[in-house]
Every structure is written in C-alpha cells, then in structure tokens.
Structure 1
Amino acid sequence: MKYLKIFSFLFIITAVQSCLSADEDPVSVAPFTGSVADPDIMGATQPNQVWIDLSDINPDTKKVNQSINKRTDWELGFYSGTEYRVVLNGSIAMAVAKIPNATNINAVKESDVKTLMNQAQVGPFGTSVLQYVDSPTGNFLTQTTGIETIKENDADNPVYLLNLGKKIGSEANIPPGSVSLTGDARGWKKIQILRAPNGYKIRYADLNATDYKEYIVSKDTDYTFQFFSFTSGNTVNIQPKKKKWDIAFTAFTNEVFMGTSSAGSYFYADFIITNTANGVAAYQVNASNLDQAYKAFKLSDVDQTKLISNDQRAIGDKWRTTTGTSDVPGAFVYADRFFVLKDAEGFYFKLRFNKMKNQDGERGHPNFEFEPL
C-alpha cells in the first residue's frame, strides 16, 4: 500500500499533547483526502480485470491508479505461499475435473473424457457442478473443489480435464443495460501438476496429443500467485504485489441461489472482489438517506464485528442490481448503501458507488468515490 507517514517535529508535539503517550509507536497516516475512480472495465463485454489499491493515488490526476489485464490473459494461478495450491481463472468461466483412473497424461484421449466434458461446466445445473470450480469465497487453501492440493509424491497427483472457459463476448448489438460476457468456447486441455523446487511443474497438452509440454512455475513471495497462460506458454503478470491491491472489478464465477437453496455455479458481470488473502475486509452500511449518512460516517462508527475477512464477495454484487425493482426495472446502482473497507495495512475507508453505465446506458462503466476514515 502507498500511504503517507508524517514524522515532523510539529506532528510529534501535537501527538504528545493529544492522546498519544510518549512510548507509543509512530502511527501510519492514511491519505488525507479521498478520490474518485472510473475502473476501466471497458464496456458491456467487460474484457478487463481491474485491480485497485485505495491508497495508490496519482499525484497529478488525483485519481486512483489502476492495474489492468484482459480476462483471457491467464488460465491458472499458482500459490506462492507455503502450501501448494492452484486456482482457476473464474473470470472466463473455467472449470476442472479429475479424470478417473488416469495416471499417464499422454494416454488420455478425448474419447475417454466425453462424458466428463458435459459435466465440467459453469452453469446453474445443481450443486454437483460446484465441485468443478473454485470456492467463490476465495478460501483456496481450504477448498475441497477445483484442483486438489499438489502432493509431494508425483504419482499421487491426478490428471485433470481442464475447461478453458469462454472467449470474451461480441460487442455487436448489445442492448443498453445488458452485457455480453461470453463468446465461443476456448477449448480443453489435459493437465497434471507436480511439485518442483520452490514451485510447480505443469504438464499440459491438447486432449488427443501424445506428447505433453512442461513448464516450471517458481514461487515469488512478493505475490500471492504466479499466473500461467497456455497461449504464451509462460507466466504472466496479473495481480499486483500482495498488499498492492484492495479490490478488483471482474467477471466472476459465483454460486447462485434459488431462494435459500443453492442452484449451482453461475457467471456474474459487474462483480467486485476484496483481497482477503492479504487481510482486506469489508461490510455494507445501509442508509435511508445516503448523502447524509455517507458524509457523516467516521472512524468511530466502524463496527468491527461486521467486517467480512473470510469471503472475497463482501462487496461482490451487493453494490448494484441487474434486474432492478418493480418500480424501476433494469440495471442500476443501489442508492441506499455504502461500504466500509479495512485494507491490509489496517487503514479504513468508506466507499460509495455512483454508477455502472455510461450516458448511453452501456454497462461496464462503473464509478465510485472513497475517503479514508
């Protein structure tokens, strides 16, 4: 996080005269002013993932900086921590399934996995499909779905069928207020992931190939994940460093409910995730008079018991509706709530979302404002 520390003589005198005692540690001070952000999702096909650090303000524009990549720039994320975990790119609706009784990746053919190809999909097909995607909570270290923990013994690591998800949708003829997230299928791979010194060894091939390719992915503890692209056959830069982002705007593979019952996996537009892997937490504040409540909210009003640090969907889709109400149909930003966020450095912010469409009614043009508390 980029934040400001002030250790001037004047600050010390002021601190001593106030509530700080002489033996207390220096206090990191959050940015003095808030800012406005227009995440560059790039319209109704929402091709971009946008990573934002609320403390990273451009000194010239006074707006928050953005780290941007195409959703199709990567397929797999390899955890750089002590554990050996691998995640899917849920922003393109990927899915994965263990191939029964498969130990030799070269021996697997498309005819062997025809039935499995119909199952390893993203869609509201019942709770059984949730096993083929990552946990929407973002708790990848404990999830029992997706790709298993990579085992130390090579022979214990299965061969997987990997659904590469969907291409970015077409920009043609999208009605105002709608989105076109998904295009044609991106195809399939068979993969096997093993451990390597300080990293991973990935073996991958097309389904009918008899010779696999291999690549070593090394861990880098400055980052939560190292990301891999089958297109380039190499690692690619996606997320900023561990504590250099708070929220991300992205398409998202989520769990959908019918009432209180799970209906399986579903693909969401206009979604926001929080960096829970590095301590970011958030919660929603309801307000009958949004302008008044947002302006008046201060640090002492933060309810620590409401902060959500174990689910990356703390903001999620709660900032907007895509179906509207009986009185006001369509997609719009809720005007009865704002959000509180605690970043990885312990600073607090309030966030207010203002729009999700441009003046022509095209989705994928969000705007929000925020202030440090």
Structure 2
Amino acid sequence: MKYLNIFLFVLIITATQSCLSADEDPVAVPPITGSIVDPQVNGARQPNQVWIDLSDMNPETKKLNQTVNLRTDWDLGFYSGDEYRVILNSSVAMAVAKIPNATDINKVKEADVKNLMNTVQVGPFGQAVLQYIDNPDGNFLTQTTGIAPVKENDAENPVYLLNLGRKLDTGSNIPPGSVSLSGDSRGWKKIQIVRAPGGYKIRYADIDATEYKEYIITKDPDYTFSFFSFTSGTTVKIQPEKKKWDLGFTTFTNEVFMGTASAGSYFYADFVITNTAAGVSAYQVNVTGSLDQAYKAFKRSDVDAGKFISNDQRAIGDKWRTTTGTAEIQGAFVYTDRFFVIKDAAGFYFKLRFNKMKNVDGERGYPNFVFDPL
C-alpha cells in the first residue's frame, strides 16, 4: 500500500497549503500519476500467474511490484474464512468428481474410476462437464460444482477423483500470435478432505495406492486461501495477502458458449481476474471515438458506481483482447474501443487501459497496460 500512503501524504500537504498566508511561498507538490505495467506472464506458453496490487508501487523503481508463480506450483486452495471450502487450480485445467459409493480411500482402484476418467475433463463437451470445475465466476462460497463444502462429520466427506490437469508445454516453434498452454497430463489423484483443528486435513494418494498420505492445512486469516502442492506435499505461498492484490493475470478454466447455449468448459489464455473475494470490482467503459482522448478525459466524477461488477471475477476476463481478430484486422490484438474502471478493496478508484498483448516479434503472453488513480 506504499502508493496509497504517498497519495494520502499529498492530500495532507495540499490541505496544509490552503492555510498558508498570501505572502508565503506555496509548497510544490509533484502530481500523482499512474504507471505503465508489463505483467511477467512470460510468453506464448504463459507459464506464470501474476498478482498485482495497483497501490503497491516500488518507490525506487517507480514500478508496480508483482508477485509471480508458476502455474504448476500449486494444486488446491483451502479457504481461510469461517466456512470450509476448497478450490481447484483452474490455471492448469484441473477437474474433480466424487467417486460413487467410495468411503475408504485406500480401497479405490483404477478399475473403479476408469469410466469416470473419460468424463472428468476440461473441454467443450457440453454443459454437463461444468460440474467438474469450480464456478468460473469465482463465487466459491456458494458454488455447487467442484469440491463440496467440507463437513464436520468425517464420514460425510466423499472420496474424489482429481484430474491434475496439464503440465506446462515444453515444445518449440509456436507461431507468432498463437499460444501453447498444455503439455502432458499431470496425472490423477484420489483425495478426501476432512476438518482439522483450525483448518483441514487432506488425505491423498495415486489411484492404485493402498495407503494414503495426509497433511494438515492451517487456516491463515491474512490470506484468502492456503495453497497446497502434491509435488512438495506441503503448503506453498501463491497469492499475496487477501487485500494486497487487485488483478491476477493467468490462464483460466472458463465456461464457453455457442451463441447463447453453454458448450461446457474451456481453457483460456490471456485472462485477467479481479480479487472479488476482497471486494475488488470493475467495469468496462466503451468508447466510440478516440480511445486516447476518452481515457485521458475520464475523471473521478465520471465513475458510474452502478456499473461495477463485484460478484464475478471475470469482470475484465478476456474482454480486453480478441484472438480471432476482425474482418479488417486478423489475429490476436488488444481492443481499442474500451478501457476499465477498478475499485480496490480499500475503496480507491483507478482507470486502466490495455496497450498490447504481444512483444515486438508477435509472440503472445506479453501484456502491457497503463493505469491512473482517479
């Protein structure tokens, strides 16, 4: 919040100036301006998730700080609030389903879930597959898909088949303007999650294993989620503290439509989520003339509070870019007829416009945006 502290400091100085007598020299106050940001998504394979707080300016570099992790650094997120909820890592196309009639995790074998493995997938296979992913709007506290709320009675918590999604791509020769998001399968796990004092206990194993491992995840009130990795067998730090990020740049498991009909789940590149769990909201401003002029002219009094989207983390989503182009311009590019207004968790307002999504060689995964406080 260093950037906001500077902002408040300037307001105090401005108020003090108004009390100076006419013959005193006024105190010079530098203008508060925004910044140009290059989120470190890192190219057409988009290996990184990037978490950005629009108020966290590095005073030395005059650039926003960024928290960056590989998409494969975590698997499950355990909610730190009062309720007991668990989310999937949608940035690697994970999916999950209850294993019918399974009560003992050690007794589950691949033969028991072979047919289920064919359907617990991410892909445009029809609306029915949406039950296997988290609700894309991010309202995890009320969702009826993915992993169910963890019950107090251990016996009421099912055994799940967990599709770990896809590895990062390690191939080469990605054509300019394209992406390659998925490598080999990361495999499968069988899991069961129960409550533990102050948190959760996860039991997990490979499908044919006869003995499970377990780990206790403690709720941390400073963070929205505690993240767990099967690779390390421990919790890992991913997102910043719950009110210290506004935007997340990530790949994303979303719902896709054919016209107005749902076609199921789909894996998106170049996606931006807002931190709705901490109260961050956003909306799109459409421009008919010059984007430069409209963006520069937009001020705090122009904000339309009724347009803010606070109940869907996809308020920006994929709306800032196109990957199919238009009749006039083909290929992936940033829309030039819109910008966005953001209200952060502390109630501060920003305007933000995207400038590009590719580098000078035409490689995707190099977004750039400019923002200004209002």
What is the one-letter code of the residue matched to 2:54?
L
**Alignment-derived partner of residue 9 in structure 2:** 6
Task: Give 1:13 shift.
Answer: 4.5
Q: Which runs of 5+ in 1 are unaligned?
A: 18-30
Could you say if the C-alpha distance between residues 317 and 263 of structure 1 is closer, same or farther in structure 2, counting changes exceeding 3 Å?
same
Task: Give 1:327 shift.
Answer: 1.1
Please list, as runs of the form range in 1=range in 2, the aligned pairs for 1:23-102 lying within 5 A after superposition. Answer: 32-102=32-102
Counterparts of 2:16 and 2:227, CA distance in 1: 48
**Alignment-derived partner of residue 170 in structure 1:** 170
Task: Give 1:354 shift.
Answer: 0.2
**Alignment-derived partner of residue 266 in structure 1:** 266
Task: Give 1:41 shift.
Answer: 0.5
Counterparts of 1:235 and 1:75, CA distance in 2: 10
**Alignment-derived partner of residue 300 in structure 1:** 301
Counterparts of 2:18 and 2:252, CA distance in 1: 45
Counterparts of 1:150 and 1:61, CA distance in 2: 44
Mapped contact 1:170–1:180 kept (Cα < 8 A):
no
Could you say if the C-alpha distance between residues 7 and 178 of structure 1 is closer, same or farther in structure 2, counting changes exceeding 3 Å?
closer
Mapped contact 1:255–1:262 kept (Cα < 8 A):
yes
Secondary structure of the structure 1 residue equivalent to 2:116? helix
Task: Give 1:32 shift.
Answer: 2.2
Q: Percent identity?
A: 74
Secondary structure of the structure 2 residue equivalent to 1:167? coil
- The aligned length equals 360
Could you say if the C-alpha distance between residues 195 and 15 of structure 1 is closer, same or farther in structure 2, counting changes exceeding 3 Å?
farther
Counterparts of 2:63 and 2:12, CA distance in 1: 30
Task: Give 1:12 shift.
Answer: 4.2
Mapped contact 1:44–1:171 kept (Cα < 8 A):
no
Task: Give 1:92 shift.
Answer: 0.1
**Alignment-derived partner of residue 25 in structure 2:** none
Could you say if the C-alpha distance between residues 343 and 369 of structure 1 is closer, same or farther in structure 2, counting changes exceeding 3 Å?
same
**Alignment-derived partner of residue 113 in structure 1:** 113
Counterparts of 1:115 and 1:171, CA distance in 2: 30
Q: Which runs of 5+ in 2 are unaligned?
A: 21-30
Task: Give 1:82 shift.
Answer: 0.2
Mapped contact 1:124–1:265 kept (Cα < 8 A):
yes
Counterparts of 1:279 and 1:16, CA distance in 2: 37
Task: Give 1:61 shift.
Answer: 1.9
Please list, as runs of the form range in 1=range in 2, the aligned pairs for 1:304-319 lying within 5 A after superposition. Answer: 304-319=305-320
Please list, as runs of the form range in 1=range in 2, the aligned pairs for 1:162-311 lying within 5 A after superposition. Answer: 162-288=162-288, 289-311=290-312
What is the one-letter code of the residue matched to 1:112?
D
Task: Give 1:7 shift.
Answer: 8.3
Counterparts of 1:237 and 1:128, CA distance in 2: 33
Secondary structure of the structure 2 residue equivalent to 1:69? strand
Whether 1:326 aligns to 2:330 is: no
Mapped contact 1:190–1:206 kept (Cα < 8 A):
yes
What is the one-letter code of the residue matched to 1:87?
I
**TM superposition score normalised by structure 2:** 0.94
**Alignment-derived partner of residue 359 in structure 1:** 360
Counterparts of 1:130 and 1:332, CA distance in 2: 29
Deviation track 1:324-363 (CA, whole Å, cap 9, x = no partner) reads 0111010000001000000000000000100000010000
Secondary structure of the structure 1 residue equivalent to 2:115? helix
What is the one-letter code of the residue matched to 1:235?
T
Counterparts of 1:9 and 1:115, CA distance in 2: 66
Task: Give 1:307 shift.
Answer: 0.2
**Alignment-derived partner of residue 136 in structure 1:** 136
Secondary structure of the structure 2 residue equivalent to 1:91? helix
Task: Give 1:6 shift.
Answer: 2.5
Counterparts of 2:163 and 2:285, CA distance in 1: 38
Deviation track 1:175-228 (CA, whole Å, cap 9, x = no partner) reads 000000001000000000000001000000000000000000000000000000
What is the one-letter code of the residue matched to 1:290?
L
Task: Give 1:15 shift.
Answer: 7.4
Counterparts of 2:355 and 2:15, CA distance in 1: 39
Task: Give 1:60 shift.
Answer: 1.9
Counterparts of 1:176 and 1:57, CA distance in 2: 32
Counterparts of 2:84 and 2:310, CA distance in 1: 22
What is the one-letter code of the residue matched to 2:360?
Q
Counterparts of 1:204 and 1:185, CA distance in 2: 18
Counterparts of 1:344 and 1:261, CA distance in 2: 34
